[in-house]
A and B are shown apart, each in its own frame.
Chain A
Amino acid sequence: MIPSNLGAFLANRRKFVDENFTSTEGQGTETVELRCEMFHGTNFIEKSDVGYTGLINQGATCYLNSLLQTLFMIPEFRLALLSSNFENVGDDAHNLSKQLQKLFVELQYSEKGAVSTSALTKSFGWSGRDSFIQQGNNNLHVLLRSPSLSRPDVQECMTVIFDFISMQHPDSELALFLRNEWTGSTQVALTCGNCGASRYRTESFRDLQLQVRGAGDVYGSMDLYFEEEAMDGVDCEACGGRHPHKKQPKVTRLPYILSLQLRRFDMNWATMQRQVQCSLRLINITINTAIVSLISHMHPS
Chain B
Amino acid sequence: VKINDALCIFPSLSLSEYPEQRSGEDSTAPAITKEYELVSIMMHSGSAHSGHYFCYIKSRVQSDDAARWLLFNDSSVTAVSDEQLSVVLGTAPAAESPATPSSAAAEGSGGAKAAPTIPSANNAYMLVYREVSPVNLRDEGPSECGALAGDERIPRELREAVQRDNALYREQKAKYEYEKAFLHISVSPALLGGEFAKKCAAEVASSVASAEKEGDEKGDVVLAEDDSVLRKKKGSAAANRIIRIHESCTLRQLTDQVYENFVSPPALTPPASASFKSGVSASTGTGTNSALPRLLPSDGVPRCCVRLRAFDSLRGTVLPPSALLPKDIADRLEKDAAAAASSVDALPFDQELLEESTVLSALSDASLKRIMHLEVRAPGSLPFGGGSQQDGGVVFSLETVRYRPRSPREREADEASVFEPATPIQLPSDCTISDMIQRVFASASSAPCEDNSSTQIANMVIAIHDISSGIARQIFPRPITSRIDYDVALSTSLVSSGDRVYVDFSPSAGAARVGLMEYFENLQNAITVYFPDIRGCDEGGSVVVDGEHRMALSVDRRCALSEVKAKMAALLNRSVDSFVLLRMENSQTDTTVEIKNLTMSLSQNGFDDGSFILIRPGVPLAPGEYRVFFLFKSVSSTTAIGDAQDLFVRMGSACVLRGDQTVGEVKEWIRANRPEFLTPHGDNTNIRLQLAQRFTEDADAATAEDGKQPQGEYFKTTFVLDDEKSLRDCLGSQLKDGMHLSVTVGVAESSFSGSSDLFLSLWEWMPDIKQIVFHGDVVFPKTNTFADLKTRIQNMCAPTCSDDKYRLHLDAGDIFFAKPFTWQLKDAAANIPFLKWSSQPAHDGLSITGAPYRLNNAPLAGPALLLFKCCDLTQLVEDGDEAAGKGGGQMAAVPEEVGFRLYSAKEQLVRRAEEEKVDRERKTLIEEKLKALSLSGIHDTSAAR
* A227-235, A239-247, A267-275 - interface stretch: A267-275
A299 within 8 A of B: yes
Query: Contacts of A266 on B, CB cut-off 8 Å?
Result: 1, 3
What sequence of 0s and 1s flags, for each residue 152-195 of chain A, a beta carbon within 8 Å of any chain B beta carbon?
10110000000100110010000100110001110101000000
* B889 contacts A271, C-beta separation under 8 Å: no
* A40 contacts B157, C-beta separation under 8 Å: no
Known: A3-B138, A27-B155, A154-B125. A45 touches B169 (CB 8 A): no
Cβ-neighbour of A12 out of B50, B135, B157 (below 8 A): B135
* B15 contacts A251, C-beta separation under 8 Å: yes
B521 within 8 A of A: no
Query: Contacts of B875 on A, CB cut-off 8 Å?
Result: none
Q: A75 CA to B137 CA in the complex, in Å?
A: 6
Known: A105-B162, A281-B889. A59 touches B111 (CB 8 A): yes
Query: Contacts of B109 on A, CB cut-off 8 Å?
Result: 40-41, 43, 45, 56, 114
Cβ-neighbour of A9 out of B51, B73, B135, B164 (below 8 A): B135
* A108 contacts B885, C-beta separation under 8 Å: no
A127 within 8 A of B: no
* A54 contacts B77, C-beta separation under 8 Å: yes
Within the complex, the shortest CB–CB distance from B131 to chain A, in Å, comes to 5
A66 within 8 A of B: yes
By the criterion of a CB under 8 Å from any partner CB, how many residues of chain A are at the interface? 151
B806 within 8 A of A: no
* B129 contacts A257, C-beta separation under 8 Å: yes
Cβ-neighbour of A256 out of B130, B148, B941 (below 8 A): B130
B721 within 8 A of A: no
* B299-307, B427-435, B774-782, B928-936 - interface stretch: B928-936
Q: A70 CA to B42 CA in the complex, in Å?
A: 8
Q: A69 CA to B926 CA in the complex, in Å?
A: 31
* A187 contacts B53, C-beta separation under 8 Å: no
CB nearest to B859 among chain A residues: A269
* B9 contacts A218, C-beta separation under 8 Å: yes
* B889 contacts A179, C-beta separation under 8 Å: no
Q: A273 CA to B164 CA in the complex, in Å?
A: 46
What sequence of 0s and 1s flags, for each residue 134-165 of chain A, a beta carbon within 8 Å of any chain B beta carbon?
00000100100100011110110000000100
Query: Contacts of A63 on B, CB cut-off 8 Å?
Result: 53
* A272 contacts B818, C-beta separation under 8 Å: yes
* A218 contacts B127, C-beta separation under 8 Å: yes
Query: Contacts of A283 on B, CB cut-off 8 Å?
Result: 879, 882, 926, 929-930, 933
Which residues in window 1-57 of B have CB below 8 A to A?
A: 1-5, 7-10, 13, 15-23, 34, 36, 39-40, 42-44, 48-55, 57
Query: Contacts of A39 on B, CB cut-off 8 Å?
Result: 176, 405
Q: A148 CA to B50 CA in the complex, in Å?
A: 11
What sequence of 0s and 1s flags, for each residue 251-280 of chain A, a beta carbon within 8 Å of any chain B beta carbon?
111111111111111111111111111111
Query: Contacts of A107 on B, CB cut-off 8 Å?
Result: 142
CB nearest to A292 among chain B residues: B884
Which residues in window 822-840 of B have CB below 8 A to A?
A: 836, 838-840
Known: A41-B111, A212-B3, A261-B125. A218 touches B155 (CB 8 A): no
Query: Contacts of B945 on A, CB cut-off 8 Å?
Result: 139, 167
Query: Contacts of A185 on B, CB cut-off 8 Å?
Result: 20, 936-937
* A112 contacts B15, C-beta separation under 8 Å: no
* B48 contacts A24, C-beta separation under 8 Å: no
What sequence of 0s and 1s flags, for each residue 459-481 of chain B, a beta carbon within 8 Å of any chain A beta carbon?
00000000000000000000000
CB nearest to B123 among chain A residues: A264
B415 within 8 A of A: no
Query: Contacts of A286 on B, CB cut-off 8 Å?
Result: 881
Known: A1-B143, A258-B128, A292-B884. A213 touches B3 (CB 8 A): yes
* A179 contacts B938, C-beta separation under 8 Å: yes
Cross-chain pair count, CB within 8 angstroms? 445
CB nearest to B840 among chain A residues: A272
Cβ-neighbour of A259 out of B2, B129, B147 (below 8 A): B129
Known: A108-B142, A218-B8, A264-B125. A254 touches B15 (CB 8 A): yes
Which residues in window 185-236 of A have CB below 8 A to B?
A: 185, 187, 189, 197-204, 206-207, 212-219, 221-222
* B21 contacts A187, C-beta separation under 8 Å: yes
A125 within 8 A of B: no
* B882 contacts A282, C-beta separation under 8 Å: yes
Within the complex, the shortest CB–CB distance from A203 to chain B, in Å, comes to 5
Cβ-neighbour of B938 out of A204, A219, A289 (below 8 A): A204
CB nearest to A57 among chain B residues: B74
* A36 contacts B7, C-beta separation under 8 Å: no
* B8 contacts A217, C-beta separation under 8 Å: yes
CB nearest to A58 among chain B residues: B111
A94 within 8 A of B: no
Query: Contacts of A152 on B, CB cut-off 8 Å?
Result: 53
A73 within 8 A of B: yes
Which residues in window 917-945 of B have CB below 8 A to A?
A: 922, 925-926, 929-930, 932-934, 936-939, 941-943, 945
* B860 contacts A270, C-beta separation under 8 Å: yes
Query: Contacts of B705 on A, CB cut-off 8 Å?
Result: none
Which residues in window 481-521 of B have CB below 8 A to A?
A: none
A67 within 8 A of B: yes
Cβ-neighbour of B21 out of A32, A33, A189, A254 (below 8 A): A189
B139 within 8 A of A: yes
Listed A/B pairs (7) with beta-carbon separation below 8 Å: A3-B138, A27-B155, A40-B110, A46-B105, A79-B153, A155-B126, A258-B131
Other A-B contacts than A40-B108, A262-B7, 20 sampled, CB-CB below 8 A, are: A24-B153, A34-B162, A57-B111, A69-B72, A70-B55, A76-B137, A109-B142, A142-B922, A151-B51, A179-B939, A201-B934, A206-B938, A207-B126, A215-B5, A218-B10, A254-B15, A255-B131, A297-B885, A299-B933, A301-B938
Chain B residues close to A by CB (< 8 Å):
1-5, 7-10, 13, 15-23, 34, 36, 39-40, 42-44, 48-55, 57-59, 61, 68, 70, 72-79, 90, 104-105, 108-113, 124-131, 133, 135, 137-145, 147-148, 150-166, 168-170, 172-173, 176, 368, 404-405, 817-820, 836, 838-840, 843-844, 859-862, 864, 879, 881-882, 884-886, 888-890, 892-893, 922, 925-926, 929-930, 932-934, 936-939, 941-943, 945
3 A-B pairs closest in CB distance? A279-B889, A41-B110, A114-B75
